[in-house]
């Protein structure tokens, strides 16, 4: 399996699919998942002639499980190593949930000389936790409770999330997929405990407001209006106001896991944006 090694000797696993000469599309996954969660999109776009690349964030999936570095700056720095290792240019970046924060921080921290456009799917920016600057955010106590639940019984928590709010299976008239629940659970348990614990702070408390204001590339925001994990009023509907060249598309009634639930719609929107 292919790996890169970062400056602190963390090994990062990545996939490199599709046409090696095609335009690269780089995917950043959400918490506490890994690159497997984007396989439908990678396979589809690879079939369309694109080069599709996704990594397992440090501490997640098949990557190393270091004690340190579970913050947005380090995530962005790790991703830069991958860009440089593969000499990627004219990249379309795609980030889901936490991965959307990673995309925004990467572009703000390292510039967009290698990036032509970006897509944020159900993503955490600009600032997920409730604060004076984020009046529609989620109270910090909610994230404290997630951390407490991890310490008590991580295995059960990582069943409860996909069985409930991640895919909206806790709502009436929504048919659950046991396969999706088990896939989420298995990916989550592959994540190192420290990485999963620390990443909760990274995705919830990082303020991406200044980062989003810096961007001068086209950014497409895709977000479900019934997202219980990253409510659209706290994220995409605020983020679109900060982007110079932003476009927001809302999926009515859709949950947080739109890449898994609305596969055809998300794939079509990614392809259309890539072709622009």
Catalytic residues: 97, 227, 256
Element at 4 (helix H, strand E)? strand 3-5
Peptide bond into 11 cis (omega under 30): no
Peptide bond into 276 cis (omega under 30): no
d(Cα 50, Cα 44) in Å, to the nearest integer? 9
d(Cα 122, Cα 230) in Å, to the nearest integer? 7
User: 147: exposed, middle or buried (C-beta count within 10 Å: 0-12, 13-18, 19+)?
Assistant: middle
Half-sphere exposure of 86 (CA within 13 A, CB side): 28
Q: Which two structure tokens, joined as six digits, stand for 124?
A: 């955490």
Q: Let me know the angle formed at the C-alpha of 204 by 200 and 205, rounded to the nearest 5 degrees.
A: 110
Which of 259, 250, 254, 157 lies closest to 200, judged by CA? 157
d(Cα 158, Cα 156) in Å, to the nearest integer? 5
d(Cα 31, Cα 134) in Å, to the nearest integer? 21
d(Cα 207, Cα 39) in Å, to the nearest integer? 29
């Amino acid at each position: 399996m292919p790996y890169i090694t970062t400056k602190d000797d963390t090994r990062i696993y990545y996939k490199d699919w599709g046409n090696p000469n095609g335009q690269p599309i780089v995917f950043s996954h959400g918490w506490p998942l890994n690159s497997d969660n984007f396989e439908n999109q990678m396979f589809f776009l690879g079939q369309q002639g694109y080069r599709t690349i996704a990594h397992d964030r440090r501490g997640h999936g098949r990557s190393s499980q270091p004690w340190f570095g579970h913050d947005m700056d380090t995530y962005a720095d790790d991703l830069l190593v991958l860009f440089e290792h593969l000499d990627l240019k004219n990249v379309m970046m795609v980030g889901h949930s936490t991965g959307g924060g990673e995309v925004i921080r990467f572009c703000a921290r390292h510039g967009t000389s290698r990036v032509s456009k970006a897509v944020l799917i159900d993503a955490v920016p600009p600032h997920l936790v409730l604060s004076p600057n984020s009046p529609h955010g989620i109270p910090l106590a909610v994230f404290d409770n997630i951390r407490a639940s991890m310490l008590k019984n991580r295995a059960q928590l990582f069943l409860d999330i996909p069985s409930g709010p991640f895919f909206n299976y806790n709502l009436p008239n929504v048919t659950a997929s046991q396969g999706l629940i088990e896939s989420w659970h298995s990916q989550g348990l592959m994540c190192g405990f420290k990485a999963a614990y620390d990443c909760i702070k990274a995705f919830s408390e990082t303020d991406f407001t200044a980062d989003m204001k810096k961007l001068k590339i086209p950014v497409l925001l895709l977000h479900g209006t019934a997202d219980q994990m990253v409510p659209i009023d706290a994220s995409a509907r605020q983020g679109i106001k900060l982007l110079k060249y932003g476009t927001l598309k809302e999926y009515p009634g859709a949950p947080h896991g739109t890449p898994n639930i609305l596969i055809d719609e998300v794939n079509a929107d990614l392809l259309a944006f890539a072709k622009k």
